[in-house]
């Protein structure tokens, strides 16, 4: 999987990803199919966090990004939103 950057002269996080050169179909399994192989590629990847943040920032709704499925990313978004609201409420009450 590779996401082209605006400036190909300077390597982006994608150039260091474990999935570079791997068949992208592995990261977009059919509904109900196993995500284990894709997540295994992500395990130990040095840019896993960058990949996950990219997916979250860009609202990626499909596929495995940063070692997480769509459902796992939705859960993480909800947790972060709750934490933000809680933090904002604490600051407002101070």
> Cα–Cα distance between 58 and 78 in angstroms, integer?
15
Q: What is the DSSP string of 13-79?
A: GGGG-TTTTS-GGGGSPPTTS--HHHHHHHTT-TTHHHHHHHHHHTT--SS-BTTB-HHHHHHHHHH
Give a yes or no: residue 34 inside a domain: yes
Give a yes or no: residue 3 inside a domain: no
The whole model's pTM is what? 0.80
Give a yes or no: residue 68 inside a domain: yes
Give a yes or no: residue 44 inside a domain: yes
Sign, Cα dihedral of 67, 59, 27, 49: negative
Residue linked to tokens 């996401």? 3
Structural domain of 76: 13-93
Segment 71-92, tens digit of pLDDT: 999 999 999 999 988 877 777 7
Give a yes or no: residue 25 inside a domain: yes
Give a yes or no: residue 4 inside a domain: no
* DSSP letter assigned to residue 12: -
**Domains in the chain, number:** 1
Give a yes or no: residue 18 inside a domain: yes
Give a yes or no: residue 7 inside a domain: no
Segment 9-65, tens digit of pLDDT: 778 999 999 999 999 999 999 989 999 999 999 999 999 999 999 999 999 999 999
């Amino acid at each position: 999987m590779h996401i082209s950057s605006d400036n190909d002269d300077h390597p982006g996080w994608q150039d260091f990803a474990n999935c570079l050169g791997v068949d992208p179909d592995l990261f977009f399994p059919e509904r109900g199919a196993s995500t284990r192989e894709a997540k295994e590629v992500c395990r130990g990847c040095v840019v896993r966090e960058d990949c996950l943040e990219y997916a979250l920032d860009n609202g990626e709704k499909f596929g495995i990004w940063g070692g997480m499925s769509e459902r796992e990313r939705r859960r993480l978004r909800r947790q972060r939103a709750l934490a933000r609201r809680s933090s904002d409420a604490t600051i407002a009450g101070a």
